[in-house]
Amino acid sequence: MAAAQLTTDRLADKHRSTLDQALDTIRTRAYWSPYPEHPKAYGEGGSLDAAAGLDAYKALLDTRFELDQPGTDDWTGAEVSPYGPALGVTYPHADIDVLLPAMRAGMGAWRDAGPETRALVCLEILARISARTHEFAHAVMHTSGQAFMMAFQAGGPHAQDRGLEAVAYAYAEQTRTPAGRADWSKPQGKREPLELSKEFTPVARGIALMIGCNTFPTWNGYPGLFASLATGNPVLVKPHPRAVLPLALTVRVAREVLAEAGFDPNLVALAAERPGEGIAKTLAVRPEIRIIDYTGSTAFGDWLEANARQAQVYTEKAGVNTVVVDSTDDYKGMLSNLAFSLSLYSGQMCTTPQNLLIPREGITTDQGPKSYDEVVADLAGAVGGLLGDDARANALLGALVNPDVKARLEAAAGLGEVALASREVANPDFPQAVVRTPVIVKLDGSKPDAEAAYLSECFGPVSFAVSVDSTADALELLRRTVREKGAMTVGAYTTSAETERAVEEVCLEESAQLSLNLTGGVYVNQTAAFSDFHGSGGNPAANAALCDGAFVSNRFRVVEVRRQA
């Protein structure tokens, strides 16, 4: 192998202070990010500005995406943008009996490099991805259907933050034992002490499989990818067939950086699949695969947990997110905050609220008592107002990611009384985009036949305004929903200290992340890396949280070699 262009010293000069800041921030949980959120911040220091990013994206279309991976036996790809155009990109299809052994070949050198070098290489990969955020933004937009600004931020800096957070946790976890040799001396009374020299090496588990999702290919993919790579494991990236490009770009950058740093590029590889091939199921039970990260349906997540027994399996699955509406001293703020949460990316976030539990007899507010019907009508009005302007609606909603979401949205109107009908929004730039505003459906929480609706995840721009007998009743339903169906987020609005304590108690007991009385510019469906946990890993919606010690600590093992001193 040629001499590394990227030496450890050079990498440390560039990235050690960023790593230190990340290590500090995961302890303080303060706000911090090294990756700019504003599109105009790019264009200096080698990063692509808006125009260059768009050009770079366009240059990818209708081409073969070369990766120079071992075992390529075909080319495949059929992505069509939710905004209309086919991407026309084809990717290498791998003969896994060739690719998997090739991925293992570089493991020894990657292990011997140690936790710091691995972290620094990961930070270089993230820095190069960051420099191409504009290019990634278009790739995310045209695979997920996110509006450009969201694709830019959530698919760019916020995803990179989550990757860096995972690297920081992985580094912290692997450096809990001393680097180099540690002396051990046990007194023996008057006899000579017993003495040993001990050496602790973090070792990888094996190849990690990261199974990407359609809606957030980078944001949901980077934590597992970087946690596994930073702990010494090769990573095979299996993207969702409708969202390959952002992860193929990621794999390409990772392979470039690994090679420049003197490591085997095959430590990161892509597993694109032919339509209907279902390669995830085959890969998941291969003996070489020892770690799996997955975001997607409960059915396949449960299948992985039950069947991929040779691997550590980290899953984020479906859940039913709930907001308890008890009372507020900022009625307008509450309505506009909720309206935004329901609208963002057409409700296609795993964190979007679905069920709004509102007492049948109404709530108290700073604008006087409001009946259940008034709250629902006012919320419908707030959503209608927010999305009344088509340009703003397009910028917030993005496009429906696939026909299943559209079908669910259309069916939802038949589930109860429609408080706010969904409307079609035309997108002048992309006439084929399917853009829809959310529907709000009223359901009676005391009627058993409504349960089937509000106790299932209805992924997409569908919310249920569920009338309940009382706030106590709402809390019981919240508890049952989290326990049986899981939740990535819970929200609550209350001015009562007692109710606040009660909803906290439910969330502590059922392991759900709670946002209280959000009325400003932070939304229940958004989390910030280094500070907020995404999911809890303690209810059926996910078996892991992004990101904590448990997310990284079992991706490697520590092998001790002890010698007579």
Q: Give the footprint of a copy of itself on this chain (CB under 8 A).
A: 26-31, 107-108, 111, 173, 176-178, 182-188, 194, 196, 198, 200-201, 203, 205, 305-306, 309, 504-505, 507-509, 511-522, 528, 531-533, 536-538, 545, 548-550, 553-554, 557-564
Beta strand extents in 268-382 (DSSP E only): 268-270, 289-295, 312-316, 322-325, 355-359
Q: How far is the CB of 63 from a copy of itself (least distance, A)?
A: 38
3-state SS track over 21-87: HHHHHHHHCCCCCCCCCCHHHCCCCCCCCHHHHHHHHHHHCCCECCCCCCCEEEEECCCECCCCCEC
Q: How far is the CB of 445 from a copy of itself (least distance, A)?
A: 24
Q: How far is the CB of 106 from a copy of itself (least distance, A)?
A: 13
DSSP designation for 344: G
Cβ atoms of 317 and 542 within 8 Å: the answer is: yes
Q: How far is the CB of 511 from a copy of itself (least distance, A)?
A: 5
Cβ atoms of 228 and 235 within 8 Å: the answer is: yes
Q: How far is the CB of 251 from a copy of itself (least distance, A)?
A: 25
Q: Which residue's CB is nearer to a copy of itself, number 409 or number 546?
A: 546
Q: Which residue's CB is nearer to a copy of itself, number 245 or number 503?
A: 503
283 backbone dihedrals φ, ψ, rounded to 5°:
-65, -40
Q: Which residue's CB is nearer to a copy of itself, number 241 or number 486?
A: 486
Q: Which residue's CB is nearer to a copy of itself, number 30 or number 391?
A: 30
Q: Which residue's CB is nearer to a copy of itself, number 27 or number 64?
A: 27
Q: How far is the CB of 332 from a copy of itself (least distance, A)?
A: 14
Q: If DSSP codes are grouped into helix, strand and coil, which group holds residue 139? A: helix
Q: How far is the CB of 306 from a copy of itself (least distance, A)?
A: 7
Q: How far is the CB of 560 from a copy of itself (least distance, A)?
A: 5
Of all helices (H) and strands (E), which one includes residue 212? Answer: none
Q: Which residue's CB is nearer to a copy of itself, number 13 or number 183?
A: 183
Q: Which residue's CB is nearer to a copy of itself, number 82 or number 537?
A: 537
Which amino acid, one-letter code, is at 535?
Answer: G
- The two most distant CA atoms of the chain are separated, in Å, by 88
How many whole angstroms from its chain centre is CA 125?
Answer: 18
Residue with tokens 């800096």: 157
Q: How far is the CB of 135 from a copy of itself (least distance, A)?
A: 25
Q: Which residue's CB is nearer to a copy of itself, number 325 or number 443?
A: 325
Q: By C-alpha distance, which of 346, 336, 414, 420 is closest to 377?
A: 420
Measured distance CA(530)–CA(520) in Å, rounded: 21
Residue with tokens 């709000």: 440
Q: By C-alpha distance, which of 451, 542, 529 is closest to 488?
A: 542
Q: By C-alpha distance, which of 340, 339, 327, 337 is closest to 370?
A: 327
Of all helices (H) and strands (E), which one includes residue 424? Answer: strand 424-425
Q: Which residue's CB is nearer to a copy of itself, number 95 or number 183?
A: 183
Q: Which residue's CB is nearer to a copy of itself, number 361 or number 366?
A: 366
Q: How far is the CB of 15 from a copy of itself (least distance, A)?
A: 22
Pairing assessment for the beta strands 417-420 and 439-444 based on DSSP bridges? antiparallel
Residue with tokens 């609550």: 492
Number of residues assigned to the chain = 565
Q: How far is the CB of 6 from a copy of itself (least distance, A)?
A: 25
Q: Which residue's CB is nearer to a copy of itself, number 186 or number 452?
A: 186
Q: Which residue's CB is nearer to a copy of itself, number 141 or number 350?
A: 350
Q: How far is the CB of 552 from a copy of itself (least distance, A)?
A: 8
Measured distance CA(367)–CA(375) in Å, rounded: 11
Question: Residue 244 region, left (φ>0) first, then alpha (ψ -120 to 50), else beta?
Answer: alpha
> b/e per residue, 88-106, with b = 16+ CB within 10 A?
ebbbbbbebeebbebbbeb
